[in-house]
Structure 1
Amino acid sequence: MTFFLIIALFVLLLVSVPIFAAVSLATAAAMLLFTDTNPLIMVQRLFGGIDRFTLMSMPFFILAANAMDVGGLSSRILRWARALVGHISGGVAMTTHVASMFFGSLSGSSPATVIAIGKIMYPELLRQGYAKHFASGLITSTGSISLIIPPSLTLIIYATVTNTSVGALFMAGLTAGIVFGCIGLFYIWIYAKMNNLPRQEKATRAELWTSTKTASWALMVPLIILGGIYLGVFTATEAAGVSAVYAIVVGMFVYKEIDLKKLYQLCLSSAITSAQVMILVAAASMFGWLLTVGQVPQSLAHFLTENFTTEWTFLLFLNILLLIVGMFMEGTSAIVILAPLLYPTAVQMGIDPVHLGVLIITNMAIGMYTPPFGLNIFVANSITKMKLVESVPGLTRFLVVSLVALLIITYIPQISTLLPDIVYGS
């Protein structure tokens, strides 16, 4: 049964059947052909997969992200980032990187970050003397950090699939995302020094204050979410609702870039995105249940623990596997398929579930700009007008930097677990 299930799934994926349909059809066929399970169980598992309290936060975070995106956030974040780091060596590139980190944490979308920041900063990078392949690699790679820094949909999906605390994952994603981003900034500084690239004039205190004040409404969103959870004011689900209301109020009455028509459109877009993710989670729940019935996680755990006897070798294997998967599969889809399989083994090996979640999502973030099928590559190429072959040299340098960051996050688990341990005492 298991062999048929896996082969059927990959065949359907190869012929471009949508992910949720491929997972559902393969699971239903395996159940009907190889088990005597009542077909009604399939329906129960589909609805049971989305009948979870954790998932209530997802539509609100999607709504908040869309509201901040439509509300003219990118220009204000860029102005603030330029005032903050523009005067350092590699200031324009650092501005791009810092703005992408903050915008990604608010939008929650890697492609949206590439478009919002890249279309403004790519021409500026070229004007400042940055090589075309470097500029292309920068805007392609920096947007992926939105998968790691909360509020991240991929973190919520992992929490749902593995029953891990969303609040703990958000805290872990914040510290891991900062480490990931700072390593990128350090590389940009070295590159700028080696190539004697110009820096911008240092912003005056008045300019820094004005740009910070203008962007402060946007910058408050992650503080509200994480601060509220950290202080115990509200749960992650309640934080999602608060952030959505806050984002809409700011967009309509502070930035004044959301009118009633745009509000209707962003609500509609958020509902469609939520439905797309929910149906994928429902299909994955049925898929995971059948794998459990077939003893697949147990068999995989037995195989891995026999062949990878130490934690560091298992983590190395895990990263290699996930990097390969990330080249061909979008992050959410990979998580709903792989997380239920890897989770039992990782726990048996003594790996913290929160740390595991950060590792999986960091690998998926790198996969967003890994050739040949990284989605960010095609989004960025619509801005740069470069062919895939032309963009590879620039991507390679940032992939190497990201792999260094991945190894640090992998083998220093305290980066992921420190804040959750302090707050939850785990």
Structure 2
Amino acid sequence: MITALIALIVILLLGSVPIFVALGTASFLAVILFSDIQPMLLIQRLVGGLDQFALMALPLFILAANIMDGGGLSKRILRFARALVGHLSGGVAMTTQVSSMFFGALSGSGPATVIAIGKIMYPELLRGGYSKSFSSGLLASSGAVSLIIPPSITLIIYGSVTGVSVGSLFIAGIGAGALFGISSIVYIYLYAKRNQIPKDKKATKREVLETTRKAGWALLIPIIILGGIYSGMFTPTEAAGVSAVYALIISFFVYREMTFKKFYKICVESAVTTAQVLVLVAAAQVLGWLLTRGQVPQLIATFIAENISTPILFLLLFNVLLLVLGMFIEGVAAIIVVAPLVFSAAVALGIDPVHLGIIMIANLAIGMYTPPFGLNIFVTQTITKTSMKEMLPGVLSFLGFNLLALLIITYIPDVSLFLLKILE
């Protein structure tokens, strides 16, 4: 049955069938045609796969991200970031990167970050003397960091699949996400110096204070989320609800850029996005159950135990697998399929499960803008109207620096775990 299941998935994916349809259809056909399992069990698993407390945070964080974009929070974060770094070499591009890191911390969504920041910053980048290729590569790569910086939807999915604490993953994502962003900032600085890109006028102390004051309400959200989780005031799921309500209050009563008509539209968009993610999760949970029933994870764990004796070699092969997979499969689907297969073997080799999750998410963040099928590339193209050929040099340049950050995250665990150790 397992051979038929895998063959069906490959055939459907090669036929450009949507991933959730490929996973669900292949699972049902394999059960009906090649096993004696009652099809009703698949329906139970389909529904049961969504019956997880951690998944309740998904629609709330998605709603919070959309409220932040529609309520004017992203604009104020951009102004704040530009006041901080605009006067440096590569200041406008650094503003884009830093803003993406801040907005990623608020939204947890790569495509949402690309759209929210890109619509505003792409014209600014072109006016600042940056090429279309560089600017497109920057937007695609900077949006990917939101997969790592908490609150990240992908971290929530990893936690729900493996049972690892979502709160611990959020804390570990801070150091790894910061390093990921810094690696891009280093390239931005070198590019601006080499191409003699003009700098912004340095903001005065008064301007810095003013932009900080205006962005302060938005910048409080990550503090509320992470501080609330680690003070014991609320769980990650409750934090998602708090962030959505907080963003709504700020958008309506402080920034006053939210209307009931706009809020209704945001709710509809959030519901559609949530449905897309959860349908994929449900289909992948069925696949995971069938693979487990066929003892595929156990076979993989046995193979790894017999052939891979060191964590260094395991993590190297793990990175290669995920980088290749990330070119073709969306991050949430990759986590649900791969994490259960390698989790036990990685833990048996002494790899910290939180560290493993951060490595996995960092790989998938790179996959978000890796040709040919990285989702952020297509989202960026809707903003920049550039072809793949035109984007490619810029994308590959950022890719090289981010891969270096990935190696550091992989082989120096304290980059991710030092905050957890401090908080223990």
Same fold flag (TM > 0.5): yes
Report matched runs for 1:1-400 at 5 Å.
1-400=1-400
User: What is the DSSP-based 3-state SS (H/G/I as helix, E as strand, rest coil) of the residue aligned with 1:324?
Assistant: helix
1:21 is displaced (CA, Å) by: 2.1
Please, which moves more after superposition, 165-174 or 179-188? 179-188
Which letter does structure 2 place at the counterpart of 1:393?
P
Matches of 1:269 and 1:61 in 2, distance apart? 13
Structure 1 pair 66/119, CA: closer, same or farther in 2 (3 Å)?
closer
1:347 is displaced (CA, Å) by: 1.3
Matches of 1:132 and 1:25 in 2, distance apart? 41
Matches of 2:302 and 2:208 in 1, distance apart? 57
Which letter does structure 1 place at the counterpart of 2:396?
T
Which letter does structure 1 place at the counterpart of 2:414?
Q
1:78-117 deviations in whole A, cap 9, x for unaligned?
A: 1100101111121111111101111122122212222222
8 Å contact from structure 2 (residues 281, 332) kept in 1 = no
Please, which moves more after superposition, 357-366 or 7-16? 7-16
Percentage of matched positions with identical amino acids: 61
1:13 is displaced (CA, Å) by: 1.8
Matches of 2:247 and 2:313 in 1, distance apart? 44
Over the aligned positions, Cα root-mean-square deviation in angstroms equals: 1.4
Which letter does structure 2 place at the counterpart of 1:187?
Y
Matches of 1:29 and 1:383 in 2, distance apart? 40
Which letter does structure 2 place at the counterpart of 1:409?
I
1:343 is displaced (CA, Å) by: 1.2
Normalising by structure 2, what TM-score? Answer: 0.96
1:422 is displaced (CA, Å) by: 3.8
Matches of 2:351 and 2:213 in 1, distance apart? 42
1:388 is displaced (CA, Å) by: 0.8
8 Å contact from structure 2 (residues 77, 102) kept in 1 = yes
Normalising by structure 1, what TM-score? Answer: 0.96
Matches of 1:381 and 1:65 in 2, distance apart? 21
8 Å contact from structure 2 (residues 32, 39) kept in 1 = yes
1:270-307 deviations in whole A, cap 9, x for unaligned?
A: 22222222222222221111111111001011122322
Which letter does structure 1 place at the counterpart of 2:297?
P
Matches of 1:40 and 1:384 in 2, distance apart? 47
8 Å contact from structure 2 (residues 132, 386) kept in 1 = no
Matches of 2:44 and 2:119 in 1, distance apart? 45
User: What is the DSSP-based 3-state SS (H/G/I as helix, E as strand, rest coil) of the residue aligned with 2:203?
Assistant: coil
Counterpart of 1:412 in structure 2 is 412
1:246 is displaced (CA, Å) by: 0.4
User: What is the DSSP-based 3-state SS (H/G/I as helix, E as strand, rest coil) of the residue aligned with 1:328?
Assistant: coil
Matches of 2:352 and 2:49 in 1, distance apart? 24
Which letter does structure 1 place at the counterpart of 2:155?
L
User: What is the DSSP-based 3-state SS (H/G/I as helix, E as strand, rest coil) of the residue aligned with 1:50?
Assistant: coil
1:398 is displaced (CA, Å) by: 0.4
Which letter does structure 2 place at the counterpart of 1:107?
S
1:249 is displaced (CA, Å) by: 0.7
1:100-140 deviations in whole A, cap 9, x for unaligned?
A: 11112212221222222222222222222223322221122
Which letter does structure 2 place at the counterpart of 1:111?
P
Matches of 2:371 and 2:21 in 1, distance apart? 26
User: What is the DSSP-based 3-state SS (H/G/I as helix, E as strand, rest coil) of the residue aligned with 1:199?
Assistant: coil
Which letter does structure 2 place at the counterpart of 1:123?
P
Please, which moves more after superposition, 382-391 or 71-80? 382-391
1:231 is displaced (CA, Å) by: 1.6
1:160 is displaced (CA, Å) by: 0.9
* Regions of 4+ moved over 4 Å: none
Stretches of structure 2 lacking an aligned partner (at least 5 in a row): none
Matches of 2:79 and 2:13 in 1, distance apart? 43
- When the two structures are aligned, how many residues end up with a matched partner? 424
8 Å contact from structure 2 (residues 330, 368) kept in 1 = yes
Matches of 1:283 and 1:212 in 2, distance apart? 44
Matches of 1:191 and 1:333 in 2, distance apart? 35
1:376 is displaced (CA, Å) by: 1.5
Please, which moves more after superposition, 278-287 or 207-216? 278-287
